[in-house]
Chains A and B, each alone.
Chain A
């Protein structure tokens, strides 16, 4: 069951990555920015799996395995940082977090 071309998968991966990047650039809520970051990670894993399938290797799939693990660790640490930040500043809006600005 694999009719679509490799280009279709890569284009979809590119579109998902672009949407995630747009969210990182446009949103102010730190939590939503973090979610868009996860979306970009998933888009890159889709490209890896597609390359792996079309080249009959398993290395891309194993890389996705590691990416999932690192993403889980990253989310745990990132959310802990956001909670610590909220405890200190009572906000998660990026435009109000300007302690390093001047």
Chain B
């Protein structure tokens, strides 16, 4: 059951991710990104990280993709764009294909990590209490730094969006 669910979500996520890359229209690409993020949130639930699945939907799907859509609509760019696959030389394509296939082959041949059996082990990330405890003890300094980072980002956006007098001669 869990395997079937994983396979379905994985295929869904990858197909939607490919849709982001191949879609000529930016709005359609944003919608594909949204669906792909929903798939990743489902995978997070499969990994017992319920809080992160919720946050992923809230932050990415709710805020970031909405911001993307807003900017796409605001700028109203032309959708007549083709991906530049045709201009890549044959030699580069062959080298890239061989490297990717070699990487995948070595991943399946040697990629065995000594991890304990997760079906019997408890899911640590499922409890909210541990997040709160860690964020306020071990990771207190990173939390402060991230708060400062958000403040700087806000100031940066204001500075970037404001029109300054006397800077119009820069072309």
List residues of chain A with CB under 8 Å of any chain B CB: 1-4, 6-12, 14-16, 18-20, 22-23, 26-29, 31-32, 34-36, 38-39, 42, 45-46, 49-50, 52-59, 61-62, 64-66, 68-77, 79-84, 86, 91-93, 99
Contact = CB atoms under 8 A, between A and B. Distances in A.
Nearest to B44: A49
Interface string B60-82: 10011001100110110100010
Interface residues on B, range: 35 or more
Interface string B139-166: 1001000100110111011001100000
23 contacts: A1-B5, A4-B46, A6-B115, A7-B111, A15-B14, A32-B26, A39-B33, A42-B37, A55-B115, A56-B121, A59-B134, A61-B49, A61-B51, A61-B125, A69-B146, A71-B64, A76-B154, A77-B157, A80-B156, A84-B160, A84-B161, A86-B75, A93-B77
Contacts of B6: 3-4, 8
Nearest to B170: A88
Interface of B: 1-3, 5-6, 10, 13-14, 17-18, 20-21, 23, 26, 29-30, 33, 36-37, 40, 43-44, 46-49, 51-52, 55-56, 59-60, 63-64, 67-68, 71-72, 74-75, 77, 81, 83-85, 100, 104, 107-108, 111-113, 115-116, 118-119, 121-125, 130-131, 134-135, 138-139, 142, 146, 149-150, 152-154, 156-157, 160-161, 171
